[in-house]
């Protein structure tokens, strides 16, 4: 495997307030616009959405790779990423990004291992490491209680 990888995206305006972005790695372009709060169009991905999508996608693929490598069984996995944009002296800027991964596992005894893998994915996510804004990390691990794994008898 090479030590360096190059990724390329080209973006251009196609009409009015809308644009297109095309990656060398993907067959389809993404339609984008400024967010409606900044005079853009409803129903289009904004650069802000795409940035948060990059963080979520990177975290997801990083965690998945770590789980696969560690032979760690995951029942379900989801990452919610929320960014806050505020007015600053020089215009608007992201003031923070919240990364909230939720991993569901079938074995409650694996909870601490799941937490360690989430923390490691957070440290290794390439996109998050490229950002200079503060990031809040709020991981969650869902697992059945011991009673749920053994089976419970409900009173009649």
Query: Per residue in 57-89, pLDDT tens?
Result: 999 999 999 999 999 999 999 999 999 999 999
Task: Tell me the per-residue pLDDT of 90-140, one tens digit each, with 9 for 90 and over.
Answer: 999 999 999 999 999 999 999 999 999 999 999 999 999 999 878 899 999
pLDDT, the chain, mean: 91
- Cα 139 to the chain's mean position, in Å? 12
Domain 1-45 CATH (choose: 3.40.190, 2.60.40, 2.20.25, 2.40.50): 2.20.25
Decide: residue 57, CB within 10 A, 0-12 exposed, 13-18 middle, 19+ buried. middle
Predicted local confidence at residue 16, as pLDDT = 86
Tell me, which fold does domain 46-150 have in CATH?
GMP Synthetase; Chain A, domain 3 (3.30.300)
DSSP the chain: --S-----EEEEEEETTEEEEEETT-SS-EEEE--GGGT--TTSB-HHHHHHHHHHHHHHHHHHHHHHHTT---SEEEEEEEEEEEEETTEEEEEEEEEEEEEE-S-GGGHHHHHHHHHHHHHH-HHHHH--S-EEE--EEE---HHHHH------
Query: What is the model's pTM?
Result: 0.85
């Amino acid at each position: 495997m090479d030590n360096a990888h190059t990724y390329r995206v080209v973006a251009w305006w196609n009409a009015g307030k809308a644009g297109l972005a095309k990656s060398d790695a993907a067959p389809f372009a993404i339609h984008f616009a400024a967010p409606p709060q900044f005079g853009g169009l409803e129903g289009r991905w904004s650069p802000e959405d795409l940035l948060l999508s990059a963080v979520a996608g990177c975290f997801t693929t990083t965690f998945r790779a770590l789980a696969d490598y560690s032979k760690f069984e995951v029942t379900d996995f989801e990452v919610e990423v929320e960014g806050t944009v505020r007015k600053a002296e020089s215009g608007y800027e992201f003031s923070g990004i919240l990364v909230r991964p939720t991993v569901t596992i079938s074995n409650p005894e694996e909870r601490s291992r799941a937490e360690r893998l989430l923390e490691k994915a957070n440290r290794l996510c390439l996109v998050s490491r490229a950002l200079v804004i503060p990031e809040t990390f709020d991981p969650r691990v869902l697992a059945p209680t011991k009673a749920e794994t053994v089976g419970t008898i409900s009173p009649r």
